[in-house]
Amino acid sequence: MAIRPAGASSSIPLSVSGIGAAGWARIAPDLAHAGFLPLQSGGAGAKPAAPAVKIQPGSAVGVKLVRGDVDMTATGTVTWVEGDALYAFGHPLYGLGEVDLPLTAARVETLLSSIDHSAKIAVPLQEAGAFRQDRASAIFGRLGATPTLVPVRLQLIDGSGERRSFAFDVADDPLLSPLLLYATMNGILGTIERTFGSATLRLREGSVIKLDGSRDLRLDNVFAGDGATSDASGLSAFLLYLVMNNEWSTPRVSGVNLILEYEREPRTATVRRVTLDRYRLKAGTAVTARIVLAPYRGAERVLTREIEIPEETPPGALTLQFGDAAAMMRAEDLDGPVVPRSLEQLVTLVNRMKRNDRLYVVASRGDNGVFLGGARLPNLPPAVASILTRPRSFGNFTFVPERGVLEDEIPAEGAVAGFVRVALEVLPP
Note the pLDDT tens digit of each residue in 372-402. 544 556 555 666 656 665 654 545 555 556 6
* pLDDT top residue among 31 and 364: 364
Is there a contact between 154 and 165 (Cβ–Cβ < 8 Å)? yes
Q: Which of residues 263, 298, 320 is at a domain's end?
A: 263
Q: Which of residues 241, 263, 285 is at a domain's end?
A: 263
Please check the confidence at residue 361 and state whether its pLDDT lies above 50.
Answer: yes
* pLDDT top residue among 277 and 335: 277
CATH number of the domain encompassing residue 51: 2.40.10
pTM of the model: 0.79
Residues 45 and 57 in one domain: yes
- Amino acid in position 262: Y
Please check the confidence at residue 94 and state whether its pLDDT lies above 50.
Answer: yes
Please check the confidence at residue 280 and state whether its pLDDT lies above 90.
Answer: yes
Residues 304 and 382 in one domain: yes
Residues 406 and 296 in one domain: yes
Assign 368 a pLDDT band (cuts: 50, 70, 90): low
Residues 205 and 111 in one domain: no
Whether 24 is in a domain gets the answer no
Whether 377 is in a domain gets the answer yes
Whether 13 is in a domain gets the answer no
Residues 336 and 291 in one domain: yes
Residues 183, 101, 235: CA angle, nearest 5 degrees: 30
Residues 248 and 298 in one domain: no
- When pLDDT is averaged across residues 132-136 and rounded to a whole number, the result is 95
Whether 372 is in a domain gets the answer yes
Lowest mean pLDDT among 120-134, 178-192, 387-401: 387-401
Residues 275 and 408 in one domain: yes
Query: Residue 329's domain spans which residues?
Result: 268-427
Whether 314 is in a domain gets the answer yes
Q: How far is CA 382 from the centre of its chain?
A: 42
Q: What is the spatial distance between Cα 310 and Cα 313, in angstroms, rounded to a whole number?
A: 6
- HEC sequence for 154-193: EEEECCCCCEEEEEEEEECCCCHHHHHHHHHHHHHHHHHC
pLDDT at 389: 58
Is there a contact between 271 and 278 (Cβ–Cβ < 8 Å)? no
Lowest mean pLDDT among 56-70, 77-91, 128-142, 337-351: 337-351
Residue percentage of the chain with pLDDT more than 70: 77
Please check the confidence at residue 152 and state whether its pLDDT lies above 70.
Answer: yes
Assign 120 a pLDDT band (cuts: 50, 70, 90): confident
Residues 220 and 302 in one domain: no
Number of domains in the chain: 3
Q: What is the spatial distance between Cα 173 and Cα 66, in angstroms, rounded to a whole number?
A: 12
pLDDT at 54: 87
Residues 75 and 108 in one domain: yes
Give the other-Cβ count within 10 Å of 162's Cβ: 9
Residues 53 and 181 in one domain: no
Closest to 22 (Cα-Cα) out of 201, 194, 233, 223 = 233
Distance between start and end Cα atoms, the chain? 68
Lowest mean pLDDT among 28-37, 323-332, 384-393: 28-37
Residues 286 and 423 in one domain: yes
Q: Please give the torsion angle defined by the CA atoms of residues 243, 244, 246 and 248, in that order, rounded to the nearest 10 degrees.
A: 110
- When pLDDT is averaged across residues 24-35 and rounded to a whole number, the result is 42
Q: What is the spatial distance between Cα 388 and Cα 396, in angstroms, rounded to a whole number?
A: 10
Whether 28 is in a domain gets the answer no
Residues 245 and 362 in one domain: no
Average pLDDT, the chain: 82
Q: What is the spatial distance between Cα 336 and Cα 332, in angstroms, rounded to a whole number?
A: 8
Please check the confidence at residue 185 and state whether its pLDDT lies above 50.
Answer: yes
Assign 421 a pLDDT band (cuts: 50, 70, 90): very high
Q: What is the spatial distance between Cα 12 and Cα 220, in angstroms, rounded to a whole number?
A: 29
Say which residues have a Cβ less than 8 Å from residue 373's Cβ, sequence separation at least 6.
Answer: 395, 396, 397
Whether 362 is in a domain gets the answer yes
- When pLDDT is averaged across residues 211-222 and rounded to a whole number, the result is 92
Whether 21 is in a domain gets the answer no
- When pLDDT is averaged across residues 211-218 and rounded to a whole number, the result is 91
Hey, CA dihedral for 365, 402, 349, 356, is it positive or negative? positive
C-alpha dist (Å) from residue 378 to 257, 284, 291, 425: 41, 22, 31, 21
Please check the confidence at residue 4 and state whether its pLDDT lies above 80.
Answer: no
pLDDT at 375: 55
Assign 78 a pLDDT band (cuts: 50, 70, 90): very high
* pLDDT top residue among 328 and 212: 212
Q: Which of residues 99, 116, 147 is at a domain's end?
A: 147
Helices 228-244 and 176-192 cross at an angle (nearest 10°) of: 160
pLDDT at 7: 37
pLDDT at 402: 60
Closest to 101 (Cα-Cα) out of 149, 39, 35 = 149
